[in-house]
């Protein structure tokens, strides 16, 4: 049975479509499968060239901005029982249609809405392997690939494309697919206005003319098969080379394609014996010298933090310091370091903080203001509910909605998702939102403290291993000893990473007294009795938050048990099983982290709670 996710409960009245083209046909196909609701409201979907075929054409034309709606913008106007969705072309109409589908139940009175996406490219990366496995996937196998090729039946791929279009995603990328298979996938995603790109490795010599000719020929073949091909995503652990990116970009340029070069954030090879070696510096040190040396169609894909999607880390300084190169923000919807879709961790509030981060530190441009694209690693697989944990669907939903509107309130988005996903009363919906809305901070409390990061099991990245990466070739992350804990990344005595930020951010992070508590151990090595801005010592804060995080999971589980009988059995069983696993995981994190620091410091918990010695 197909899980329709957030497209399972909506309904619309009869809709008239005044438009032609492939995406208009998609809307007509949509209308044939949407449940009908009886109402006096007359809904019309039309291109601006045909808006005068509707009763509200004057109101629509008056609402269109002087600069136009662009390819993806749309207008929704309601007066009395007439409601019109208008756009310049098929993409805008499709997004306008899904807007009405999302909100129709709450639409009342007269109103005018004008919507345009804040970020032009909104893409999901997929790390599916030809075998059908998914790298960093926590929701079963691939929905695209199996046994060395693309799956014969693309019905589920089409359902996925529909979900993505409904939240405003307009691009996807794939690795490991042969050209005929790429063309098959592109034909499905094209129905929903989504462009397909390919992930490639580039290890050739960019100065070799034969290499340039080969890539030019290969790109031409791709565009012959897929005329609306989006471009290439280079995923490599090698240090960046501007000419490598430019060679590929020049091959794509005649077709309007984009070259995404994914910044790795550093490679293996650090020696833990050298205290000032710092992986966090790597991306800045590699890319800032290349700023301005890339072709116009090169986009650097920058992870939001300088490490690797930790549940709390500083913002990458590249997001503020790149000046002459287009760049994309990279997030991770798949929960590699945030519970792997076993633990509930709604990431919307974290992503909103990232998008609204002031890159100047002084009232300047936010991350959302500066980016030309937003990309994330997807979290779907062939599990019946797409994401393993039913509630992890909320992260995919929130990513798409925040990519369209970075100023959206993540709790409001959660209300939207719950209402669209479950047929339930308002009281149950509000209770589920309460359980979910603070889950990211709960996860942070019972895992790694104060921005320290990487206290996870190597390889799997699930569950605690306090010293798991402490002596690895990837770097050292907490430097805990009997006196204190944290990484000194200051200019004065440490790795100098704070100097990669502009003032006043650099000064704020450099000073132990002004550094935000939640990032203190990311930037500073401090004594256990150092007093935080919240008035607690570092060590007591570690104890308190780990006890609190576990208690919050207990409370989440208790609240879920009260409402669980109101859900369908398959949903109830899935969520209940995941909560039981999360409670065990939170207990293990609490006990291992607290015991580790007690054994090192010899300082007991001020409240006398049990710490296993």
User: What pLDDT does residue 274 have?
Assistant: 82
All structural domains of the chain with their residue ranges: 12-115, 121-409, 422-487+525-612
User: What pLDDT does residue 238 have?
Assistant: 63
Segment 558-583 shows an average pLDDT of: 98
pLDDT band at 266 (very low <50, low <70, confident <90, very high): low
Given 3.30.2010.10, 3.30.565.10, 3.40.50.10540, 3.90.1330.10, which CATH number is that of 422-487+525-612?
3.90.1330.10
Percent of the chain clearing pLDDT 70 (strictly above): 98
Given 3.10.450.50, 3.30.379.10, 3.50.50.60, 3.30.470.20, which CATH number is that of 12-115?
3.30.379.10
Q: How far is CA 126 from CA 152, 190, 380, in A?
A: 19, 17, 9
Q: Are 464 and 373 in contact (CB under 8 A)?
A: no
Tell me, yes or no, if the two domains 121-409 and 422-487+525-612 fold the same way.
no
pLDDT band at 277 (very low <50, low <70, confident <90, very high): confident
Superfamily (CATH H level) for 121-409: Glycosidases (3.20.20.80)
Enumerate long-range contacts of 575-578, CB under 8 Å, 24 or more apart.
Answer: 575/389, 575/390, 575/391, 578/341, 578/342, 578/343, 578/344, 578/389, 578/391
User: What pLDDT does residue 263 have?
Assistant: 79
Q: State the Cα–Cα distance between residues 376 and 212, nearest whole angstrom.
A: 29
User: What pLDDT does residue 466 have?
Assistant: 96
Residues with Cβ within 8 Å of residue 392, at least 6 apart in sequence: 139, 335, 341, 344, 379
The mean-pLDDT minimum among 260-274, 410-424, 551-565 falls in 260-274
- Give per-residue pLDDT as tens, 99-136: 999 999 999 999 999 999 999 999 999 989 999 999 99
- Give per-residue pLDDT as tens, 286-320: 999 999 999 999 999 999 999 999 999 999 999 99
Q: Are 387 and 416 in contact (CB under 8 A)?
A: no
**pLDDT value at 472 more than 90:** no
pLDDT band at 268 (very low <50, low <70, confident <90, very high): low
Q: Using DSSP, state whether 380 is helix, strand or coil.
A: coil
More confident call, 279 vs 396: 396
Q: Using DSSP, state whether 590 is helix, strand or coil.
A: helix
Burial zone of 474 (CB within 10 Å; 0-12 exposed, 13-18 middle, 19+ buried):
middle
- Give per-residue pLDDT as tens, 127-168: 899 999 999 999 999 999 999 999 999 999 999 999 999 999
Q: Using DSSP, state whether 405 is helix, strand or coil.
A: coil
Q: What are phi and psi of 346, to 5 degrees?
A: -75, 115
Residues with Cβ within 8 Å of residue 480, at least 6 apart in sequence: 466, 596, 597, 600
**pLDDT value at 270 more than 80:** no
Token output for 184: 């098959």
Average pLDDT taken over every residue of the chain: 95
Segment 178-200 shows an average pLDDT of: 96
pLDDT band at 176 (very low <50, low <70, confident <90, very high): confident
User: What pLDDT does residue 239 have?
Assistant: 64
pTM over 0.75: yes
- Give per-residue pLDDT as tens, 526-548: 999 999 999 999 999 999 999 99
Q: How far is CA 52 from CA 41, 48, 492, in A?
A: 19, 8, 67
Q: Using DSSP, state whether 162 is helix, strand or coil.
A: helix
**pLDDT value at 265 more than 70:** no
Percent of the chain clearing pLDDT 90 (strictly above): 92
User: What pLDDT does residue 237 have?
Assistant: 56
Token output for 505: 């951010």
Q: Count of CB atoms within 10 A of residue 22's CB?
A: 12
Q: State the Cα–Cα distance between residues 86 and 92, nearest whole angstrom.
A: 8
């Amino acid at each position: 049975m197909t899980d329709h996710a957030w497209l399972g409960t909506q309904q619309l009245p009869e809709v008239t479509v005044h438009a032609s083209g492939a995406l208009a046909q998609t809307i007509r196909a949509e209308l044939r499968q949407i449940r009908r609701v009886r109402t006096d409201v007359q809904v019309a979907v039309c291109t601006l060239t045909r808006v005068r075929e509707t009763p509200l054409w004057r109101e629509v034309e008056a609402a269109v901005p002087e600069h136009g709606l662009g390819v993806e913008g749309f207008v929704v106007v309601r007066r009395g029982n007439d409601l019109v969705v208008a756009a310049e072309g098929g993409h805008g109409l499709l997004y306008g249609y899904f807007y009405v589908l999302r909100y129709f139940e709450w639409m009342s009175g007269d109103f005018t809405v004008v919507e345009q996406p804040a970020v032009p490219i909104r893409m999901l990366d997929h790390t599916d392997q030809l075998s059908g496995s998914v790298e960093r996937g926590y929701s079963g196998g691939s929905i695209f690939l199996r046994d060395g090729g693309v799956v014969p039946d693309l019905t589920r791929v089409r359902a996925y494309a529909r979900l993505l279009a409904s939240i405003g995603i307009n691009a996807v990328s794939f690795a490991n697919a042969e050209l005929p298979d790429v063309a098959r996938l592109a034909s499905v995603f094209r129905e929903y206005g989504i462009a397909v790109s390919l992930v490639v490795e580039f290890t050739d010599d960019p100065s070799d003319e034969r290499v340039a000719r080969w890539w030019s020929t290969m790109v031409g073949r791709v565009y012959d098969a897929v005329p609306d091909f989006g471009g290439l995503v280079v995923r490599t652990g090698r240090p960046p080379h501007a000419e490598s990116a430019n060679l590929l970009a020049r091959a794509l340029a005649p077709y309007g394609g984009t070259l995404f070069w994914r910044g790795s954030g550093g490679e293996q090879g650090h020696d833990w014996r050298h205290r000032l070696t710092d992986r966090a510096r790597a991306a800045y040190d590699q890319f800032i010298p290349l700023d301005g040396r890339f072709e116009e169609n090169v986009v650097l894909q920058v992870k939001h933090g300088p490490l690797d999607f930790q549940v709390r880390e500083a913002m990458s300084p590249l997001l503020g310091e790149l000046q002459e190169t287009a760049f994309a923000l990279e997030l991770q919807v798949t929960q590699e370091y945030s519970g792997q879709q076993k633990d509930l961790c709604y990431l919307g509030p974290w992503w909103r903080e990232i998008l609204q981060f002031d890159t100047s530190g002084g009232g300047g441009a936010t991350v959302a203001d500066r980016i030309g694209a937003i990309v994330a690693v997807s979290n779907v697989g062939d599990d019946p509910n797409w994401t393993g944990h039913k509630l992890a669907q909320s992260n995919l939903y929130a990513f798409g909605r925040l990519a369209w509107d970075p100023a959206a309130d993540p709790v409001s988005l959660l209300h939207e998702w719950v209402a669209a996903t479950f047929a339930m009363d308002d009281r149950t919906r509000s209770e589920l939102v309460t359980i979910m809305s603070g889950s990211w901070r709960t996860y942070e409390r019972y895992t790694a403290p104060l921005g320290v990061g990487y206290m996870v099991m190597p390889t799997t990245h699930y569950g605690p291993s306090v010293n798991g990466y402490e002596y690895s070739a990837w770097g050292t992350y907490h430097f805990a000893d009997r006196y204190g804990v944290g990484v000194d990344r200051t200019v004065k005595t440490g790795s100098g990473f704070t100097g990669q930020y502009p003032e006043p951010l650099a000064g704020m992070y450099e000073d132990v007294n002004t550094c935000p508590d939640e990032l203190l151990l990311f930037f500073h090595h401090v004594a256990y009795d150092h007093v935080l801005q919240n008035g607690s010592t570092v060590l007591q804060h570690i104890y308190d938050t780990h006890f609190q995080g576990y208690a919050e999971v207990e409370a989440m589980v208790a609240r879920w048990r009260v409402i669980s009988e109101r859900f369908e059995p398959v949903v109830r069983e899935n969520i209940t099983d995941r909560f039981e696993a999360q409670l065990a995981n939170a207990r293990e994190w609490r006990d291992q982290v607290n015991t580790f620091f007690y054994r090192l410091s010899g300082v007991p918990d001020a409240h006398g709670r049990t710490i296993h010695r």
